A and B are shown apart, each in its own frame.
Chain A
Amino acid sequence: MEDIFDTVLVRAAGISAGHPLAGVLSGRSNIIELTEKSHAAALKPEPSGGLTHSQRAALACRMARLNQEVELAYHYESMVETVDVSIADPRFDGADNPRLKTIIRHTDLVTRSPKDAGEDDIRALESAGIPVEDIVRLSELIAFVNYQVRVAAGLRLMAAVS
């Protein structure tokens, strides 16, 4: 069994084993452990598919920044290789790389305003040459990070009133 206080989520939320919320969190240790396993599955799958681990981390860092989630952005930034640093910058749009541009556009749209994502947005990924496996992997990465940033934000607010 994992030490739940040594997981990406709980460390980012700033909750240690001696914290007043430690007991409450331990009551849902199975969820914290599955969140950590999901982090590994979305960020560091082997084989990595159409996006490298560093590119996934860069997109995750970008999404954390779009959510103004400083601690998780810092965590993801540490997993990004120099060549991919620009992807993590929300002002960078993919420049002259059409495939990357489409991936970044989709990531930003589904992070900020999933209600506005439609059929055309999936067709745009296909037109950029992204196979169905990678469309689903990208979707899970986006969805997971947007879950994780909200749990971290919620835990921090819980800690603030504990």
Chain B
Amino acid sequence: MSEPIKEFTTAIPFWSPRVTPVELDQASEEQLDAMKVTPSDTGVSEYVLVLAHDPKTLKERTPLFNGIMYSRGGLSRPETELGAVAASVVNRCIYCAAVHASRYNELTDDESVMEAVFSRGADAELDPRQSAILNFATKLSKCPSEADKADMNLLKENGLEMDEILDLVLSTSLFGWANRLMHVLGDPLPREA
């Protein structure tokens, strides 16, 4: 069996669960409803099948996740992804970092930002607005949060409006949630060539 990936990458790994997922053909009505699948579906991810062990939380979490990451207005899509990646770097969630860094790269057609974040973390040299976002999201992801008024003022000084800051708080915090599932309940493995 391959060894789990330890270094950040934009190549999306295979996620291998550490606990036994729900068997789709044995899933209850409540689990199927939470997974938003019909019994004939075959494309359900192992991750969703693991989370289906707690259908009540999964049912609320999926629309919450989509609402934070893909709602119109507010913070731009790439900057929303930057908040997600900053949290994933603090929490060393290789899988989430790969998915959201590669989304960032697709959206911006610029790989230099994620290369810098992966190699230097919060010290990455980015443009002032990106730096302010990375700084705030990194500090908010610590336990306890290290973000303070000065970090918030830096966001404002770099042109972020309050609705954008709210979206940044939400996407960063959401990955405080997602990382604690992905990184704890499974291993990121290299995909077969």
Q: Give the B-binding residues of A (Cβ under 8 A).
A: 21, 24-25, 27-28, 30-31, 34-35, 37-38, 41-42, 45, 66-69, 110-115, 117, 119, 121-122, 126, 132-133, 135-137, 139-140, 142-144, 146-151, 153-155, 157-158, 160-162
Contacts and interface: CB of A to CB of B under 8 A. Distances in A.
Interface residues of B, number: 57
Interface in B136-185: 140-141, 143-145, 147-149, 151-153, 156, 162-163, 165-170, 172-174, 176-181, 183-185
B91 interface: yes
B162 A158 contact: yes
A74 B106 CA distance: 43
Majority secondary structure, B binding face: helix
A155 B166 CA distance: 7
Given A28-B170, A30-B67, A140 B51 contact: yes
A136 B64 contact: no
Given A140-B51, A146-B143, A161 B19 contact: no
Chain A contact residues: over half helix, strand or loop, or mixed? helix
B19 A136 contact: yes
A161 B149 contact: yes
Given A146-B177, A161-B153, A137 B54 contact: yes
A161 to B, nearest CB: 5
28 contacts: A34-B60, A35-B64, A38-B64, A42-B57, A45-B57, A68-B144, A68-B145, A110-B180, A114-B91, A115-B93, A135-B53, A136-B51, A136-B53, A136-B54, A137-B53, A139-B184, A140-B54, A140-B57, A140-B61, A147-B173, A150-B173, A153-B145, A153-B147, A154-B166, A155-B166, A157-B148, A158-B165, A161-B153
Contacts, number: 164
Interface of B: 18-20, 50-51, 53-54, 56-61, 63-64, 67-68, 71, 73-74, 90-93, 140-141, 143-145, 147-149, 151-153, 156, 162-163, 165-170, 172-174, 176-181, 183-185, 187
Contacts of A45: 54, 56-57
Chain A CB count within 10 A is highest, among B64, B147, B174, for: B64
A151 B172 CA distance: 9
B178 A143 contact: yes
A144 B148 contact: no
**Max count, chain B CB within 10 A of own CB: residue among A35, A135, A140, A160:** A140
A115 to B, nearest CB: 4
Contacts of B145: 67-68, 149-150, 153-154
A154 B19 contact: no
A35 B65 CA distance: 10
| Interface-central residue, A35, A110, A119, A151, by most chain B CB under 10 Å | A151
Contacts of A126: 19
B149 A158 contact: no
A24 B141 CA distance: 22
Given A67-B143, A132-B53, A154 B173 contact: yes
